């Protein structure tokens, strides 16, 4: 984590290739103009001046802006690790050297061709860098999540210190709305804490004396006094950071088909070029002619179209995805997605909306309107998400004045309306207030089996009814899961929620398997276990999903989720709709099909033109034009992808 500077590494790479691209063409276009003038208008420009000018301009294109490629290619030749750079380096260096030897009149000057080859190649590398997308900055963003300051009790006084100065055993104060500075145990006070940013669950967790709290989570409505139990690298947040780093480091991208072809193609072409040069020299005794034919072979074989084949299709595919709310952040995901057999989902905020809603109202001997008016009047004074759900459902209608309002932590609320005592909460609260719920027990159990939270409302110890609240399923989740199953995908839910709620949601949307009550740090392990059965795409939205998103073969993040999840994802669904998962799979298949077609066209020209170059029919300039045509064909073919329906 030493390079977390202001600008991601991949952004710097894109800017570097853009700069090289611009300057390469600024210098290459005058070379092309001069070469055309020489070829079609005889000697308008004196030959000596044009040769010197081309050499100078080409030097900067080849050995300044193309130096990284030259260095990589020549290293590949000496280490026998052949790649695309090997052909580019050899072709451009030899072509450039002919420009120097040409002053002797022994051979023709091909130094301008060297600049053209490098300019085309640089264009391909820039497109490739763009296609790879922005860098993941999730580690830096995770680090920024933590609180920066803490209010510590020292010698009976409250002292504000930097979080880095906290020691295990220190007691610190967390007021409503503040972030908890580090992991600890509550020693005094009561409150509810929003742990959604870490656990992904929508409901805040009530905290009493003796309960554990997690650093970087947000205190809601009470004051907590917390004793620090973990600091620095031992905290939960630091552990999540380590998991993301490990998954990031161990995830190996699929080796591109182009690389496999190139590793064989390059040495074969080098062999053909050498044999061609030797044969022409032996049989014609004309070293200039032999060198020209040898260079033509290298130039026509330079797989610039191969460098464009994958990135151009990825860029078009990425553009199509973006218009449909599917952001492809990692090019590798396109190749991997088509191999996925298992699609795993987080529950809260992914399949469900991530916020509780009233789903059912059951009135007991009173009108439903009266039950909701009484309940909403009392709940209006609470900030708890369950309370907000009831108030939202009622819409502010018929609210009454409430006195003596009180929150009973972990159980419910109570207040006085007129002369009537109203109590709303769970079974434990009703039992504490000696209110018999036996008559509604079957109804309560029914709601709970459906994964809903049943709140009981009572007035002067008489039960008014039940209000069921649940994290509702997104409207299109059922459709998306049906389409995935129809296409033969195995679907799995991995959630920290309880087994009963998880199974209720899974049944509702049609998910095959449920892995419930999973600790946040264990989600990535569950994904790893699933990977033994095939490639896994994981769909999530919370900070706790980041390691699982990284561990999976394709991480799909909901755009409505946390920044960390979005940064950890290979693909981001901007609209937060699971239908986007199906579209992403279809887009992946269409794009990869286009990549394969592009690879065919990238080599089709070579198959036809290399024999012509060997026979001495192709001049290096014509070979360069043919190479450019193959690049244009590949780009045009990639753009035909836009007609596909996903």
DSSP string, 434-453: T---GGGHHHHHHHHHTT-E
Q: Which residues contact 577 (CB under 8 A, 6 or more apart)?
A: 325, 474, 476, 480
Q: What gap in Å lies between CA 410 and CA 600, rounded to an integer? A: 65
Per-residue CA distances from 203 to 197, 381, 472 (Å): 11, 17, 13
User: What is the torsional sign of CA 513, 519, 524, 529?
Assistant: negative
Concatenating the DSSP letter of every residue in 590-617 gives: HHHHHHHHHHHHHHHHHHHHHHHHHTT-
Q: C-alpha 280: how far from its chain's center?
A: 54
d(CA 99, CA 108): 7
Is residue 371 packed enough to be buried (19+ CB in 10 Å), middle (13-18) or exposed (0-12)?
buried
Distance CA 331, CA 311 (A): 8
How many whole angstroms separate alpha carbon 217 and alpha carbon 183?
9
C-beta of residue 425 within 8 angstroms of C-beta of residue 408: yes
Q: Which of 346, 497, 541, 545 is catalytic?
A: 346
d(CA 324, CA 312): 19
Please state the φ and ψ torsions of residue 578, each to the nearest 5 degrees.
-70, -15
Tokens of 491: 């679907």
Q: Which residue has 């300039």 as its token pair? A: 621
The DSSP call for residue 66 is T
Contacts 24+ apart (CB under 8 A), 379-384: 379/413, 379/424, 381/405, 381/413, 381/415, 382/407, 382/413, 383/220, 383/221, 384/192, 384/204, 384/220, 384/413
Residue ranges with strand state E in 92-200 = 149-154, 157-162, 171-174, 184-188, 191-194
Active-site annotation holds for 369 = no
3-state class of 21 per DSSP? helix
Contact 620, 95 (CB under 8 A): yes
Helices (H), 433-578: 441-449, 477-486, 499-509, 523-530, 546-551, 563-568
Q: Sign (positive/negative) of CA torsion 291, 293, 294, 299?
A: positive
Nearest one of 408, 390, 407, 391 to 468, comparing CA atoms: 390
| Angle made by CA atoms 326, 327, 329, in degrees to the nearest 5 | 145
Q: Which of 342, 335, 327 is nearest to 484 (CA)?
A: 342
Residue whose token pair is 């996925």: 340
Helix (H, G, I), strand (E, B) or coil at 67: helix
CA distance 400 to 42: 97
Give the C-alpha separation, 12 to 3, whole Å: 12
Q: Which residues are catalytic?
A: 346
């Amino acid at each position: 984590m030493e390079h977390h500077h202001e600008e991601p590494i991949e952004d710097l790479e894109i800017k570097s290739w853009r700069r090289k691209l611009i300057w390469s063409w600024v210098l290459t276009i005058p070379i092309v103009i001069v070469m055309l003038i020489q070829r079609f208008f005889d000697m308008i420009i004196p030959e000596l001046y044009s040769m010197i000018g081309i050499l100078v301009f080409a030097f900067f294109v080849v050995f300044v802006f193309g130096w990284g490629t030259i260095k990589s290619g020549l290293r590949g030749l000496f280490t026998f690790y052949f790649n695309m750079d090997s052909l580019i380096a050899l072709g451009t260096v030899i072509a450039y050297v002919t420009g120097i030897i040409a002053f002797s009149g022994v051979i023709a000057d091909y130094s301008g061709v060297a600049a053209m080859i490098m300019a085309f190649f640089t264009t391909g590398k820039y497109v490739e860098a763009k296609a790879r997308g922005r860098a993941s900055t999730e580690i830096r963003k995770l680090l920024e999540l933590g609180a920066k300051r803490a209010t510590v009790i020292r010698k009976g006084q409250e002292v504000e210190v930097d979080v880095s100065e906290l020691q295990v055993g220190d007691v610190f104060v967390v007021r409503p709305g503040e972030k908890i500075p580090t992991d600890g145990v509550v020693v005094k006070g009561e409150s509810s804490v929003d742990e959604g940013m870490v656990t992904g669950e929508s409901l805040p967790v009530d905290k009493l004396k003796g309960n554990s709290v997690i650093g970087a989570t947000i205190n809601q409505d009470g004051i907590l006094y917390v004793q620090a139990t973990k600091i620095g690298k031992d905290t939960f947040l630091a552990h999540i950071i380590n998991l993301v780093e490990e998954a990031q480091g161990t995830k190996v991208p699929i080796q591109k088909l182009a690389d496999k072809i190139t590793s064989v193609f390059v040495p074969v072409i080098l062999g053909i070029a050498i044999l061609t040069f030797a044969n022409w020299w032996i049989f014609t005794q004309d070293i200039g002619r032999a060198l020209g034919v040898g260079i033509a072979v290298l130039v026509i074989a330079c797989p610039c179209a191969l460098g464009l084949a994958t990135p151009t299709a990825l860029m078009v595919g990425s553009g199509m995805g973006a218009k449909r709310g599917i952001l492809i952040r990692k090019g590798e995901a396109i190749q991997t997605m088509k191999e996925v057999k298992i699609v795993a989902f987080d529950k809260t905020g992914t399949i469900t909306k991530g916020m509780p809603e009233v789903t059912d109202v059951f009135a007991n001997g009173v009108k439903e309107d009266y039950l909701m008016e009484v309940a909403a009047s009392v709940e209006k004074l609470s900030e708890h998400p369950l309370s907000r759900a009831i108030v939202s459902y009622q819409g502010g209608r018929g609210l009454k004045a409430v006195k003596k309002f009180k929150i009973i932590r972990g159980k419910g609320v109570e207040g006085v309306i007129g002369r009537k005592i109203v109590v709303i909460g769970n079974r434990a609260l009703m039992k504490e207030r000696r209110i018999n719920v036996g008559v509604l027990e079957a109804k309560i159990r029914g709601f709970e089996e459906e994964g809903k939270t049943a709140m009981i409302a009572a007035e002067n110890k008489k039960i008014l009814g039940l209000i069921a609240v649940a994290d509702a399923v997104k409207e299109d989740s059922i459709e998306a899961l049906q389409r995935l199953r129809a296409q033969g995908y195995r679907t799995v839910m991995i959630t920290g929620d309880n087994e009963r709620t998880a199974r209720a949601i899974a049944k509702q949307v049609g998910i095959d398997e449920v892995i419930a009550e999973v600790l946040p740090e264990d989600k990535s392990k569950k994904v790893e276990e699933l990977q033994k059965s095939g490639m896994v795409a994981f769909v999530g939205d919370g900070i706790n999903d980041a390691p699982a998103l990284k561990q999976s073969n394709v991480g799909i993040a909901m755009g409505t989720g946390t920044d960390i999840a979005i940064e950890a994802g290979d693909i981001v669904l901007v609209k937060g709709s699971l239908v986007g998962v199906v579209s992403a799979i279809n887009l992946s298949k269409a794009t990869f099909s286009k990549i394969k077609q592009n690879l065919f066209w990238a080599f089709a020209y070579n198959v036809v033109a290399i024999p012509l170059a060997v026979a001495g029919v192709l001049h290096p300039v014509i070979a360069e034009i043919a190479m450019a045509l193959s690049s244009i064909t590949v780009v045009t073919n990639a753009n035909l992808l836009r007609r596909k329906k996903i």
